[in-house]
């Protein structure tokens, strides 16, 4: 491609021109422009078509190999390559639109993969850059989603097993015309049923739901997921106390057990209990206080060491 080629931008093509003077140059003035002499300036890299980006990338990669890494010239050429091929990152990011990650974050991670591909690309091998870079960009995005999008962190082995289970389930269901059994899934993936159960259990950690959301789409009232959770039941504590009291009450004298039965079973007053047992109301009160005090002390006392 001639370095003096200029394309009409009105037809959607980039404007390429020799490096202009500092007065018209949109980029910072370079003190030493000699290493980039003859390299066409790309006024708007983001508007370059895919075909032109492919052609320009070849020239830029050749120039990049002749520059020393870490210099301003090297950074200029590499940044231009990134801008030219940013459409590749956006194309790769469209595969992950259903992800919980935002579009901007996915594009940013994909751009990191693009930079890694630029650093590793060797034009002398004869490969096309876009074909070389796409797997690197996709891998960088997948790695980011694997490490950050899970609600609960699980080992990488189980994350990959979850993906394998999903793919195998779809393939077998299409082949068999019905959902596959655990044994069929295990045979297809060459794993045991225990590993299959582990993978399905790990899949529950991929996403989480708030306890404040409705339990289903038709339930918009107070019937939320929190309603499905258990709560403390005071009856359990009463049962424990009754079971602990049984041996203590059994150890009381017959008269003491009778007083407790009349007071808390028949719900008689102290005066009524006194009339039945031939005792004064004050005597019954003292007996009840002693009985209840003994039971309370025995109930709260620590068990003696064996």
Q: Angle at CA 149, nearest 5°, toward 147 and 152?
A: 85
What's 156-228's CATH class?
A: mainly alpha
Listed in sequence order, the DSSP H helices in the chain are 50-65, 72-84, 86-93, 103-120, 129-148, 156-176, 182-189, 193-203, 234-250, 254-260, 270-277, 281-300
Cβ-in-10-Å burial (0-12, 13-18, 19+) of 129 comes to: buried
- Is residue 227 within 8 A of residue 259, CB to CB? The reply is no
Specify the pLDDT at position 112: 92
Q: How far, in Å, CA of 2 to CA of 18, rounded? A: 10
Find out whether 205 and 150 touch, Cβ atoms under 8 Å: yes
- DSSP string across 124-144: GG---HHHHHHHHHHHHHHHH
How crowded is residue 179: how many other Cβ atoms within 10 Å of its Cβ?
10
Residue 83 CA to residue 88 CA, distance in Å, equals 10
CATH fold, domain 235-300, is: Butyryl-CoA Dehydrogenase, subunit A; domain 3 (1.20.140)
What distance in Å separates the CA atoms of residue 278 and residue 272, rounded to the nearest whole number? 10
**Which part of the chain is CATH 1.10.10.10?**
156-228
pTM: 0.43
Computed on alpha carbons and rounded to an integer, the radius of gyration of the chain in Å comes to 40
CATH number of 9-148: 1.10.1740.10
Domain limits, CATH 1.20.140.160, in the chain: 235-300
Q: How many CB atoms lie within 10 A of CB 259?
A: 23
- pLDDT value at position 226? 57
Per-residue pLDDT of the chain (306 residues; tens, 9 = 90+): 444 433 443 344 444 444 443 334 444 444 444 445 555 566 666 666 777 777 788 888 888 888 888 888 888 888 888 888 888 899 898 888 877 778 888 899 999 999 999 888 888 887 888 888 899 999 888 888 776 766 666 777 877 787 788 888 888 888 888 888 888 888 888 888 888 888 888 777 666 666 565 655 554 554 555 556 666 777 888 888 888 888 888 888 888 888 888 888 888 888 888 888 888 889 989 988 998 888 888 888 765 444
H-run or E-run covering 16: strand 16-17
Q: Which two tokens stand for residue 6?
A: 């200029």
CA angle in degrees (0–180, nearest 5) for 124-127-131: 145
């Amino acid at each position: 491609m001639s370095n003096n080629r200029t394309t009409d931008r009105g037809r959607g093509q980039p404007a390429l021109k020799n490096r202009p003077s500092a007065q018209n140059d949109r980029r910072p003035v370079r003190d030493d422009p000699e290493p980039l002499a003859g390299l066409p300036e790309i006024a708007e890299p983001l508007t370059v078509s895919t075909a032109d980006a492919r052609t320009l990338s070849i020239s830029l990669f050749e120039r990049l190999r002749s520059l020393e890494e870490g210099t301003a010239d090297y950074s200029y050429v590499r940044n231009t390559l990134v801008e030219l091929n940013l459409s590749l990152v956006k194309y790769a990011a469209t595969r992950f639109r259903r992800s919980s990650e935002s579009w901007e974050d996915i594009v940013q991670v994909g751009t990191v993969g693009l930079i890694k591909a630029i650093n590793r690309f060797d034009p002398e091998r004869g490969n096309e850059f876009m074909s070389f870079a796409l797997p690197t960009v996709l891998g960088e995005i997948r790695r980011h989603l694997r490490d950050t999008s899970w609600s609960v962190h699980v080992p990488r082995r189980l994350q990959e097993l979850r993906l394998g289970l999903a793919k195998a389930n779809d393939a077998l269901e299409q082949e068999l015309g019905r959902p596959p059994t655990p044994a069929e899934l295990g045979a297809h993936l060459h794993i045991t049923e225990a590993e299959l159960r582990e993978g399905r259990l790990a899949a529950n950690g991929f996403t989480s739901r708030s306890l404040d959301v409705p339990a289903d789409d038709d339930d918009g009232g107070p019937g939320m997921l929190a309603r499905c959770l258990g709560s403390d039941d005071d009856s359990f504590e009463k049962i424990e106390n009754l079971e602990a009291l049984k041996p203590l009450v059994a150890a009381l004298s017959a008269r003491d057990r009778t007083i407790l039965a009349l007071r808390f079973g028949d719900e008689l007053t102290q005066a009524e209990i006194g009339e039945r047992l031939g005792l004064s109301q004050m005597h019954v009160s003292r007996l009840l206080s002693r009985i209840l005090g003994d039971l309370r002390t025995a109930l709260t006392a620590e068990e003696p060491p064996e």
